[in-house]
């Protein structure tokens, strides 16, 4: 399978990329940025995407901050061109260790070595680990466009099937994770190692000094057109006593709250059953690993 014909442009820096994307769009073309190419190229090969022009962001890797991982205070900043593999190998410290741990689930090593954080967030797959982690840890996605720079909170980023708030003439330059979470975990099920998850569950827990829970966060992938935060499940955690019973109850609440669609990967009931199990499993891991 081969992509439809397209014109190729190499951007020198962020301003050049934005200029190319907006000029081409103004001329009635349908350009797309390309970073790691690990989602866009397969989509083009299957003719699910047919951009008229590709604007290659590869050279942006050399720009300051674009592949940087910086931890300051309670915020972790990643340049948009940072690869999954860079994060997997980084020593992020306990507050953001879940980011590095989750990377082992992203495709295979060659995909992780080329695919980027920014590309994954803009692509917006409902089971993508980065999209779930963005909701889990209150990420802010920074995009540069013809009208300047804007910041998109993760809660406003993903709104449908591969639909994100980033405009076609914008370039994502960085993502900031603003919520430190030492007690956090992501688990998932996929039929083969390296495949996208059938269902994935990412959670955080916030313990109180008296041993009970202040609350927690539950984010699911693979059960809706976009990654999904589940307040019904989070409500079960608030004020509860951490342990297997509470975590199982939270898993049941999550499974009841969702309305997944069945497909070749699994029926709706199967996805509900996976949700029940994975939420409880993630909560157990988050509780155990929190003292890293």
Specify the residue for token string 């090593």. Answer: 109
- Shortest distance (Å) from residue 2 CB to ligand FAD: 16
Closer by beta carbon to ligand FAD, 82 or else 275? 82
CB of 169 to ligand FAD, least distance (A): 9
Residue 171, H or E segment: strand 171-177
Of 216 and 221, the one with the shorter C-beta distance to ligand FAD is: 221
Closest contact distance (angstroms) between CB of 110 and ligand FAD is 9
Least distance CB 292 / ligand FAD (angstroms): 24
Q: Residues near 153 by Cβ (< 8 Å), separated by ≥ 6?
A: 138, 139, 140, 141
Pick between residue 127 and residue 275 the one whose CB is nearest to ligand FAD: 127
Place of tokens 């410290």: 93
Most distant CA pair in the chain: distance in Å? 63
Residue 132's CB: how many other CB atoms inside 10 A?
A: 28
Q: At closest approach, how far in Å is the CB of 232 from ligand FAD?
A: 25
Phi, then psi, of 53 in degrees rounded to 5: -140, 140
Q: Which residue is nearest to ligand FAD (CB)?
A: 115
Task: DSSP letter for 96, please.
Answer: G
CB nearer to ligand FAD: give 78 or 205: 78
Residues contacting 217, CB < 8 A, separation 6+: 136, 181, 203, 204, 229, 234
Instruction: Count Cβ atoms below 10 Å from residue 222 Cβ, excluding itself.
Output: 30
Closest CB to ligand FAD among 198 and 204? 198
Q: Is 204 helix (H, G, I), strand (E, B) or coil?
A: strand
Q: Which residues pair with 175 in a beta bridge?
A: 78, 141
Q: Select 195 or 206, whichever has its Cβ closest to ligand FAD.
A: 195
For ligand FAD, give the closer residue by CB, 37 or 216: 37
User: What is the spatial distance between Cα 69 and Cα 76, in angstroms, rounded to a whole number?
Assistant: 7
Phi, psi angle pair for 273, to nearest 5°: -65, -40
Q: At its nearest, how many Å lie between ligand FAD and the CB of residue 134? A: 11
Q: How many CA atoms lie within 13 A of 5 on its CB side?
A: 0
92 exposed, middle or buried (CB, 10 Å; 0-12, 13-18, 19+)? middle
Residues at the contact surface with ligand FAD, assessed by CB under 6 A: 32-40, 42, 57, 80, 105-107, 111, 115-116, 118-120, 122-123, 125, 128-130, 166, 171-172, 194, 196
In the complex with ligand FAD, the residue whose CB is nearer, 170 or 234, is 170
Residue 240 Cβ vs ligand FAD, minimum distance, rounded to whole Å: 31
State in angstroms the smallest separation of the CB of 286 from ligand FAD.
20
């Amino acid at each position: 399978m081969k992509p439809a014909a397209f014109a190729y442009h190499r951007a020198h820096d962020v301003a050049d990329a934005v200029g190319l994307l907006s000029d081409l769009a103004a001329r009635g073309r349908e350009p797309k940025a390309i970073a790691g190419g690990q989602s866009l190229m397969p989509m083009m090969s299957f003719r699910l995407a047919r951009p008229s022009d590709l604007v290659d962001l590869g050279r942006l890797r050399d720009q300051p901050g674009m592949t940087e991982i910086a931890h300051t205070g309670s915020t972790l900043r990643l340049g948009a061109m940072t690869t999954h593999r860079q994060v997997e190998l980084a020593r992020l410290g306990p507050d953001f260790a879940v980011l590095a741990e989750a990377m082992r689930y992203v495709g295979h090593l060659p995909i992780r070595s080329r695919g980027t954080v920014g590309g994954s967030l803009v692509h917006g797959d409902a089971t993508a680990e980065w999209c779930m982690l963005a909701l889990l840890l209150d990420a802010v996605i920074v995009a540069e466009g013809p009208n300047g720079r804007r910041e998109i909170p993760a809660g406003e980023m993903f709104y449908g099937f591969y639909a994100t708030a980033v405009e076609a003439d914008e370039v994502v330059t960085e993502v900031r994770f603003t919520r430190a979470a030492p007690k956090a975990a992501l688990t998932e099920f996929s039929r083969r190692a390296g495949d996208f998850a059938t269902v994935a569950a990412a959670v955080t827990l916030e313990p109180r000094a008296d041993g009970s829970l202040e609350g927690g966060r539950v984010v699911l992938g693979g059960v809706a057109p976009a990654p999904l935060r589940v307040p019904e499940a989070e409500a079960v955690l608030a004020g509860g006593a951490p342990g297997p019973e509470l975590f199982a109850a939270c898993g049941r609440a999550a499974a009841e709250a969702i309305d997944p669609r069945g497909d070749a990967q699994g029926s709706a009931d199967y996805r509900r059953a996976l949700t029940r199990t994975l939420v409880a499993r993630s909560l157990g891991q988050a509780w155990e690993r929190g003292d890293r």
